[in-house]
Structure 1
Amino acid sequence: MRAAAEDICGEYADVIPPDTRNLMGFYVSLRRLLFECGITDFSFNDLYKPTYDRLVKIFSYLINFVRFRESQTAVIDQYYNKAESTKTRIETLYAENQENEGRLQDMKHNRKAMEAQVREKTMRNEDLKKRLLELRRNQEKVAARLEEAKQKKGELTAVLEQKTHERVTLKQESTKLRPYVLQSASALQENLAELREILNNDKSHIDALDRRARALQTSTDSFSVVSTDVASCIKILDEIASELAKEEEEMARNAKQRDALSERGNNAREVERTETMLKRQLSKWMERTEKLREQSNQKAQEAKEKMHELRAVHRQLTEEHTEKGKEMEVRRVRIEQTEKKMLDLKENIENEVHSAHEEYRKMEAHIKLYIAEMEQTIA
């Protein structure tokens, strides 16, 4: 009665007295019961001033309703049990629906995470492409510099051979002109100046060759740096391959979860739609990952081939550098020997000139003495 009164009065329950509220609740409850029994004209007069006929009618309807209910108890219980089972089924389906929605949200979250990872990996692939292009440009530049260095090396070797030939010819000419040089001090000094100039030219040529060797050393260092960069690129590509394998495992797990969801949620149309959409997106991502895997494998193979080529070029450069260093050492030793010989020759020539001057003075003194004696004898 109190619940019915509160339902009827609503917000005005405090305004109406309690007896009135309870009476109204009782009237409403009794009217509903009698309406179900078949009495549709029940009013307050039946409560305050009931007549005999009305009481007989009301009680007869109530008795008939109770008898009918007792006779149909099995059917009522059956339908009640069906309603309860339907209610429990609805609750279980609702719980499964909520669980499926939670899994769907998790799958959406995982898809967003996978999209972020794929974007990150595509950005990393783009960075690797840029780095590979830069390495290719640097390789072309280094190859051009190497060709230029080879050309300059040939030119310098030709110039050095020409200089050595000229030095040999000058040495032969100096040996031929040695007796004439002993007779003239000024000519000897001129020849010494020429030889000194030739020696200075040879020294400058050796310095140029040393600078060229240092330049080749820097180019070899740059090749080593390029090789390390290519090795790091190969390592990064291996990491990308491992991450793609992890993504495949995650996709397999998602496929298993999707199969489980499809088996459990056959009656949910919304889940089927989302499943089809996820299948399409998954196929797209599988195609993209397959393309990325193929591209990464291709790039790794190209990087390995470039690495082998760079190693071969580096080996060739090191061999050329060692050969050039040996040649430079031999030429340096020869030039030092020639410098020593030139110094010895200069000392010998100076000694011979000094002795020639002394002999000239002696001869001049003898001639003067002879002239004086001749003048004395003539006088």
Structure 2
Amino acid sequence: MAENTFPVHNADTIVNFYRSEVLTGQEAKHFTKGDLTPVPKPEAVQTLYMRVLHLLFRFKPECHSMVPLLDGIQYPAYHEGATTILSVYTRMKQFLPMCLVNDFSLNDLLTPKKQRTLVILSAIMNFLHFRKERMEKMLEKQAKFRADTDKLRAYTKGIREAEKKIELLTTIPPEQQAEAEELAAALSELQATTVHEYQEVNTTKQSIAELKTKMAEKTQKLAQMKVDVSNLKEDISKLKSQIVESPEELKSQMEKMRETVKNIKKSITETDECAVEMQNRVQNATHSEAEIHQMYVLLQDLESSMNNAKQRQEEYQELVVQNEKMQKELKSLLNEEGQLKRALDMKLGKECKQNIRRQKKREMKEQHVQEELRQCEQIHQKREEMADKIQQITGETQQLKAKIKSLRDVCSKETEKAQALYDTLSTSMDELHRRIEMHIEDLKLNITENAANF
């Protein structure tokens, strides 16, 4: 006891603490510093220990005086005082090692000493402070757990409703299965045609590149031809000044030159038109590729949302397992309460017998009446506490109902958004198919025209 790991408090602080935290009713009023100093009173110390055991382990003070029901006991009334002291001693011997007091003895109950009792009471006080802190933390964790379970239930309800709506949207009725099969076949054909068109587009791009190279070569040749023509014109002007030719030959040469110039201009305009058409085709092809990429991104988003739903289902299953464990613990606690109630019933029957035997002893009867009144006060307090708890539970249920309504509204809004997305996707797919058909027809016409021109 010389090396304590907890602080030893004064008698004033100990009396104030046990008045406010442990004792109730008239016991708190009558408990004073004189019960501990200069010489502790055994009755006051024993009542303190009994109240501590009742507060921690729900072992009522009346249960200490219960004599075991054996057949061969004579005069069981004489055994009551010894049984109470021995039961308090055994319970405190089991409890005090948790408070780091390992040398508790019967002398601490029968003939307590001042310093020894102060040390034991300060150890119990330290343990009660620690228990209070832990209980507050556990209550906070329980509140968080309840809120999380409520959220989980609401989310699971929303997920189930969404899954049902998704099933309704995805499942095809038997009346429309034939149309769905036809649409699936048409989609497969469209996919095949789009792949073929992509290949054709690639080939057209290659041909465009070749045409561009040819056009560059032709433009170079035209530039050279223009330079040659200008040089020839200069030579002709020089020769005209030197040589006088016949007008008929000049006319024929001029007509030939004009025809060649016309042919060159026609070829230039045709090549420009082909280049513009090919550029338009390339732009249309890039635009269709961008639309297909957007559709692919939307499908990826849908897959990620389905994966999130699966993860939430797994978390829900884990929480269900935890809930089952908590229900088992509650059942065990209810069984313990039933056993305690049975013990109380036995104790009440015994008290009735003892009252019959103690009719001549008025003083003992008055003490018994006072004890019964204290029990009644405690019962009334417990009833008030239970009423407060019931009110709290009703308030929590109302809050939960409000939360459930809000979550249902959120789920309905999300389903409307999903329906709107589905409608937009269907309309965009229809427009895509129309554009693809238009592009196919345009490509066919352009291919025929290019073939005719080449």
TM range (shorter): 0.3 to 0.5
The structure with the largest helix share of the pair is 1
Question: Normalising to structure 1: TM-score of the pair?
Answer: 0.41
Question: Normalising to structure 2: TM-score of the pair?
Answer: 0.35
Q: Which has the higher contact order (CA 8 A, sep 6+)?
A: 2
